[in-house]
Amino acid sequence: MTELTPANANELTSDTPIMAFAQLQLADPLARAVAEMGYETMTPIQAQAIPVVLQGRDVMGAAQTGTGKTAAFALPLMQRMLKHENASTSPARHPVRALVLLPTRELAVQVAEQVELYGKYTNLRSAVVFGGMDMKPQTIELKKGVEVLVATPGRLLDHIEAKNCVLNQVEYVVLDEADRMLDIGFLPDLQRILSYLPKQRTTLLFSATFSPEIKRLASSYLQDPVTIEVARSNAAASTVEQHFYSVEGEDKRHALHQILRQRGLKQAFVFVNSKLGCARLARSLEHEGLKTTALHGDKSQDERLKALESFKSGEVDLLVCTDVAARGLDIKDVPAVFNFDIPFHAEDYVHRIGRTGRAGAEGLAVTFVSKSDQRLVTDIEKLLKTKIELEGIEFEENLPDIRKQGHINDGRRLYREDGSDQRRPEDFARGSRFEPRRSRPVPQDPFFEKPYEPSLPADAAPAWEAAVVRPGVRTISSNIKTKRKLAALFQAA
């Protein structure tokens, strides 16, 4: 999520005139930090939201990703909390006064870093808590006392139940990327967390999209909010150049190689829909000579942070990821986004391509469309309210043969449209992965090869009729034991 933006932010368009930060009359510590970060002009969401938050009003803000929503709430909240600033070492003098809730760990870390930069010349303390890590270091930080707490809902509830933090003095609550939190299923957790907070508070809700669910959430927890929309809801950034190419199967990787080379792209996001597909595609692209790393939900927190750090530092060229990276991540100067798979939800398309073209910069968004994706393309057309034209792509002859370098096993056999097998005869050569398995010979019992032979003649009587009962002889079953005979002690007279 992009913070205060440099002077080139005035390229963004909005009905509200762009303001300079000097007009806000921020406190000296905050103004000094902002100046050192090299920011001069506010984005539209910042220009509209910051004055309203400074007045103590509830805000329901919608803006495209990459337009500085974090600074729109962080700066005014810290400005209002400076009245509680103190240099005391007592944790009791530093209760939680501002709570920022986010859906993912990466967003929480990113927002916490920005808050720390804004407040480095103040005595306001900040901390971040999220899942996937040991609670002990987080508990130590919370016990020291913090004014600004950035958290994911699940881990915050863990600390509340462990009595590591008390929220009875919270004055400001921020629900950032609220639509994503509802999509993940955090609504029950949000309701529990909000029940621990004082009734009198300032609540800020920021999201890239406004769905009916978000509006119901706002009506339940916001009091007379000021609605701020600096762009049409669910709209893609105008600075992003969008292309949709009709590509099938393994040709997607051919197209990826060709577009990267033709455009001279140094880095790019590559989005897929599944964790397994993410790992397989990253491994295949790595074998094909591209520096690649994967980012998905099955990776540990350390692995995810290392993947992000290596991509930010330029050590890797491609970040293959699922939608865990589609929301709010602010990695500067990423020139392109590839949708290797079309997202199942049209709103995620807007978030994905929002990773490029941030803060007024130009970006490229390329989407590969197969024949089975027509319904998903239609959903994107309805969301963007525009007609999508599919483009063809001509492959160059000097592209690497990716079939020899790697293959993504999607669990399906290859067939042509007419139903014939697409595999080549040489694929069945000895040692090929397409070689059919040979069944082992099963030993046969000669008894089962003989014809049927009856054990009795055809005119013989049944066994139950052939049994002969001799008169006067009592037949006793072999299962019944006879009584033992004992000698008589007395004889009858």
CATH among 3.40.309.10, 3.40.50.300, 2.70.98.40, 3.30.70.1350 for 240-406? 3.40.50.300
- pLDDT number for residue 4: 38
Q: Of 324, 168, 318, 330, whose CA–CA distance to 256 is shortest?
A: 318
Check whether 359 has a pLDDT greater than 90: no
- 365 Cβ contact partners less than 8 Å away, ≥ 6 residues apart: 236, 240, 241, 242, 243, 336, 337, 339, 352, 353, 356, 357
CA dist list (Å): 82 to 27, 111, 150: 8, 19, 18
DSSP state of 225: P
Between 139 and 484, whose confidence is greater? 139
| For residues 315-336, average pLDDT | 81
Average the pLDDT over each of 165-169, 282-286, 449-453 and give the range with the smallest value.
449-453
For 459-474, write each residue's pLDDT tens digit.
Answer: 776 666 655 555 555 5
- pLDDT number for residue 401: 55
- pLDDT number for residue 68: 78
Phi-psi region for residue 53, left (φ > 0), alpha (ψ -120 to 50) or beta? alpha
How far apart are alpha carbons 182 and 196 in whole angstroms? 19
- For the chain, the helix, strand and coil percentages under 3-state DSSP, each to the nearest 5: 40, 15, 50
Q: Is the dihedral of CA 41, 43, 44, 45 positive or negative?
A: negative
> What's this model's pTM, rounded to 2 decimal places?
0.64
Between 326 and 230, whose confidence is greater? 230
User: Band of the pLDDT at 217, cuts 50, 70, 90?
Assistant: confident
Check whether 55 has a pLDDT greater than 80: yes
Per-position b or e across 193-231, b if 16+ CB within 10 A of its CB: bbeebeeebbbbbbbbbbbeebeebbeebbeebbebebb
Domain 7-229, CATH homologous superfamily name and number: P-loop containing nucleotide triphosphate hydrolases (3.40.50.300)
Check whether 137 has a pLDDT greater than 80: yes
- pLDDT number for residue 441: 65
For 73-121, write each residue's pLDDT tens digit.
Answer: 999 999 999 999 999 989 999 999 999 999 888 889 889 999 999 999 9
User: Band of the pLDDT at 411, cuts 50, 70, 90?
Assistant: very low
DSSP state of 358: G
Classify residue 309 as exposed, middle or buried by CB count within 10 Å of its CB (0-12, 13-18, 19+): exposed
CATH 3.40.50.300 residue ranges of the chain are: 7-229, 240-406
How far apart are alpha carbons 107 and 100 in whole angstroms? 11
Tokens of 395: 């492959």
How far apart are alpha carbons 421 and 412 in whole angstroms? 12
- pLDDT number for residue 445: 75
- pLDDT number for residue 146: 94
Check whether 486 has a pLDDT greater than 70: no
Average the pLDDT over each of 45-54, 254-263, 355-364 and give the range with the smallest value.
355-364
CA dist list (Å): 253 to 365, 397, 407, 409: 16, 14, 10, 14
Check whether 191 has a pLDDT greater than 70: yes
For 247-284, write each residue's pLDDT tens digit.
Answer: 988 789 989 999 999 988 889 999 999 889 999 999 99
Check whether 162 has a pLDDT greater than 90: yes
- pLDDT number for residue 40: 80
How far apart are alpha carbons 460 and 390 in whole angstroms? 85
DSSP bridge pairs for 336: 364
Q: Is the dihedral of CA 346, 331, 255, 405 positive or negative?
A: negative
| For residues 3-31, average pLDDT | 60
- pLDDT number for residue 456: 67
Q: Of 363, 337, 335, whose CA–CA distance to 348 is shortest?
A: 337
Check whether 295 has a pLDDT greater than 60: yes
User: Band of the pLDDT at 428, cuts 50, 70, 90?
Assistant: very low
Provide the 10 A C-beta neighbour count for residue 36: 11
- pLDDT number for residue 338: 94
Provide the 10 A C-beta neighbour count for residue 298: 13
| For residues 355-382, average pLDDT | 86
